Amino acid sequence: NAGVTQTPKFRVLKTGQSMTLLCAQDMNHEYMYWYRQDPGMGLRLIHYSVGEGTTAKGEVPDGYNVSRLKKQNFLLGLESAAPSQTSVYFCASKPGQYFSNYGYTFGSGTRLTVV
């Protein structure tokens, strides 16, 4: 099925460990996004990319890094995980800057717990 695929779906990390979340889309979308969603806070933008090889900071970028080496993949890295990074992470994509009658296509999320 076409769409946005996130791996893994669940992960438990110890404080200080590192990990990479993978987002893959097969719709040839230019723009890709990483959000975190916390109770009462809504969706907050971490980083985004407007095309292969580009990345930009969002609202809450500290403690995260990203890479977009291939158009279809957008990776989110945590170099040294902290309990404050416990959250549900969503990846999203869209075709271009403005043209999108449906906004974003979202993945199903990664639930990360840092202990």
Partner 1 sequence: EDQVTQSPEALRLQEGESSSLNCSYTVSGLRGLFWYRQDPGKGPEFLFTLYSAGEEKEKERLKATLTKKESFLHITAPKPEDSATYLCAVQTYYGGSQGNLIFGKGTKLSVKP
CA 114 to chain centre: 17
Looking at 17-25, 61-69, 74-82, 99-107, which segment touches partner 1 (CB under 8 A)?
A: 99-107
C-alpha distances out from residue 21 to 5, 8, 10, 11, 101, Å: 11, 7, 10, 10, 28
Closest CA to 64 of 84, 92, 40, 94: 84
Q: Which of residues 13, 24, 68, 107 is near partner 1 by CB under 8 A?
A: 107
Provide φ and ψ at 111, rounded to 5°. -95, 115
| Nearest residue (CB) to partner 1, 15 versus 108 | 108
Spell out, one character per residue from 26 to 65, where the chain touches partner 1: x when CB under 8 A holds, - when not: -----x-x------xxxx-x--x-x-----x-x-------
**Rule CB under 8 A: which residues touch partner 1?**
4, 31, 33, 40-43, 45, 48, 50, 56, 58, 90, 92, 97-98, 101-109
